[in-house]
Chain A
């Protein structure tokens, strides 16, 4: 399939380790590509480069074969965009804003916009300045998507939406995806990326650490099971079967084991003589995958992870 968006060696150095460095990736037609990373890791900077708002220091970005900086106006004919920061022009209410936006887009047919408004249950007559964050986000979503273009770029589009609205929004994205649109979105939530994206890039300090293929992640050649035994004797006895053990929690008599798909039946046969408290499959999701990647990455680069007070992991560079 053809590459709709092609980023090659994009570098923008703001100094003090800020910026993005040697970013390269391709997005194919109909693909949904996600970015995940902490605040300030460079997701927005990459998106702004694709939109042609920033000029690359090095490297180049092609959207539909056109340079994103030099042909930024041409590209916009096929791109719709939801910015990360929601700030509307100085206009009275949502209706005025959407009308004005349609005029800027050269859009005469508002039927799709009305459909989106209905879906998101948006009251467009509200004063733009007094809208809640969620309402603003919905308005921004309608303003961006109403032109029904081929490429959609979204910068953290779900912030501010309540869980139900988030579901609705993800439905909309999936619907767009099913129409064959090419989508780039950034987010801090692994689950929504996992639902919508084909591939997700992990960004840390302006560099792409890993690009995960969600399909591969879901179709692994092995499965993980967590097993708890009723008695400690069984627990010790089970070790003899020499399954690949990922994690041991001896105080609970628990194992987490990795079993090839072909050996699942054998596992159940082996377990026939044991008394189990439970057995459950441990799904490997995006979050787990990236955690592993990060741990690997830190190990390789001699970076020490220190837990912070809030329990989250704080990255410290050991130099």
Chain B
């Protein structure tokens, strides 16, 4: 099927073209990969990304501060409500003492476990009796509170310390706050760790709030704002410092960071207070004031700009330049020129000039001629991309190997895709070369449509999703539907999805169908030789 002499003749006729195209494309690719690897084109992108990460952190810090500030007051209110019900608790201590005495009378030691059992029984008894209604609180909350109340009392007894009523009440209250916050957090889908942090923050604020309340409860006009602000600021600072402990930063740096966090927290609370003063003390006003106080950079700029900037920050510059620009446009141009010229020269050019007569006047079948020429074209293309693959792998190795933004398997897939794209184009150009007797027709249809495809890909790039929305003109995406190169899905390859696979199949199919049409038509047509 393949004629050696003809194959050799084609090699001799086209090797200079092959060599120059292959080498220049390889050099181009190596420069692109190595230079990109050393320039660190993602630096700007990273800093842009950091802005948004920091903005998010700042925003959540401010929110925590305001929430903490608000809860300070809620806790004072809650505590004073409990305190006002204190007479209802008066019977608990004697009853508990009686039960312990009874047990010890029976010679059973009142260990911690036994006491816990007694507490559970007592509390459920109280709840069943309906006495909880007197607290004016949720039944489950009362249950938790009563349990804590008795536990604190019992623990103090075991340790032999004496407690004031005030201390007992505040400890029980803050323990309740701790448990409730933890359970709420878990119920809201937070992780164990996050829930613990939240719970201890709440408990910290609670203790501070209750202490301040106890100190100042004689003065009903006392303003707790300053106390709340200080408490929350300190909490934020401590938490920030703790989170950095062991991160390798020096003590001074950690302290500095803590102070910065404190300042942010303070600013947020001050802003919140100012807005509340302006808006009044309604629930709506609180929501509005909070949103004003917790604004970050990403809230300050218009939403569309923020989205665009965020996208720019998330953009994969290497993927865009190597995948969408080099492998789909720049790197294909020279091989395309080679394929257009060579495919034409292998059949149509020789029929047009008449030199095909020298081949066909020897005992060589037309089918042998087409298959040989086709074999040469595919062989030339394959060796071209084999070279390109070798060079690109070397370039990736120089740029940083698997740690580079594009790893070895991705670069291999990109090369395979580019080869298949060129195979489809070569099949099409070969078909045109086989269908037409005139170079001008073969070139204008085969070459014309190929270059048209490339130009459409360039135009379509501005409408494709690899370009950040700030630069994207979505109607330009239309051009992608006009180009065969659309089936070379570099985005899918670099994102690790599998949709590139069926598109590879389409490219292969287009190439094979074109080749079959060309080979069969050439057998049957008139040749002006």
Interface residues of A (CB under 8 A from B): 48, 51, 53-55, 72-74, 76-77, 79-81, 83, 85-92, 96, 100-101, 103-106, 143-144
Contact = CB atoms under 8 A, between A and B. Distances in A.
B355 A48 contact: no
A90 B353 CA distance: 11
Given A85-B354, A96-B12, A100-B8, 11 more contacts: A48-B528, A53-B357, A77-B363, A83-B358, A87-B354, A88-B355, A89-B355, A103-B5, A104-B5, A104-B359, A105-B362
B385 to A, nearest CB: 24
A24 to B, nearest CB: 21
B9 interface: yes
A91 B9 contact: yes
A246 to B, nearest CB: 44
B361 interface: yes
Nearest to B13: A90
B340 to A, nearest CB: 16
Contacts of B527: 48, 53-54
6 contacts: A48-B527, A79-B361, A87-B353, A89-B358, A90-B355, A91-B13
Interface string B337-368: 00000000100001001110111111111100
B362 A104 contact: yes
Contacts, number: 84
Contact of A103 (B4, B355, B524): B4
B357 A83 contact: yes
Interface in B1-47: 3-6, 8-9, 12-14
B263 interface: no
Contacts of A80: 361
B528 A104 contact: no
Given A74-B363, A91-B9, A101 B526 contact: no
B529 interface: yes
A58 to B, nearest CB: 14
Given A73-B365, A100-B8, A143-B358, A53 B350 contact: no
Interface of B: 3-6, 8-9, 12-14, 345, 350, 353-355, 357-366, 524, 526-529
Given A76-B363, A104-B359, A53 B12 contact: no
A104 B353 contact: no
A87 B355 contact: yes
Contacts of A106: 362-363
A86 B357 CA distance: 9
Contacts of A48: 527-529
Contact of A53 (B13, B362, B363, B526): B526
A178 B526 CA distance: 34
Contacts of B361: 51, 76, 79-81, 83, 144
A89 B528 contact: no
A101 B9 CA distance: 10
Task: Name the residue in B5, B9, B361, B527 with the highest tally of chain A Cβ atoms < 10 Å from its Cβ.
Answer: B361
A63 B205 CA distance: 110
Contacts of B5: 100, 103-104
A191 B263 CA distance: 113
B342 to A, nearest CB: 11
A144 B361 CA distance: 9
Contact of A81 (B12, B357, B526): B357
Contacts of A90: 12-14, 345, 355
Task: Name the residue in B3, B4, B365, B529 with the highest tally of chain A Cβ atoms < 10 Å from its Cβ.
Answer: B529
Task: Name the residue in B9, B350, B355, B362 with the highest tally of chain A Cβ atoms < 10 Å from its Cβ.
Answer: B362
A112 to B, nearest CB: 16
A183 to B, nearest CB: 15
B354 to A, nearest CB: 4
B362 A76 contact: yes
A51 B357 CA distance: 10
Contacts of A54: 526-528
Contacts of A91: 9, 12-13
Nearest to A49: B526
Nearest to B526: A54
Nearest to B8: A100
B357 A89 contact: no
A83 B9 CA distance: 20
B8 A89 contact: no
A72 B13 CA distance: 26
Task: Name the residue in A77, A85, A104, A105 with the highest tally of chain B Cβ atoms < 10 Å from its Cβ.
Answer: A104
Contact of B364 (A53, A76, A92, A96): A76
Nearest to A107: B362
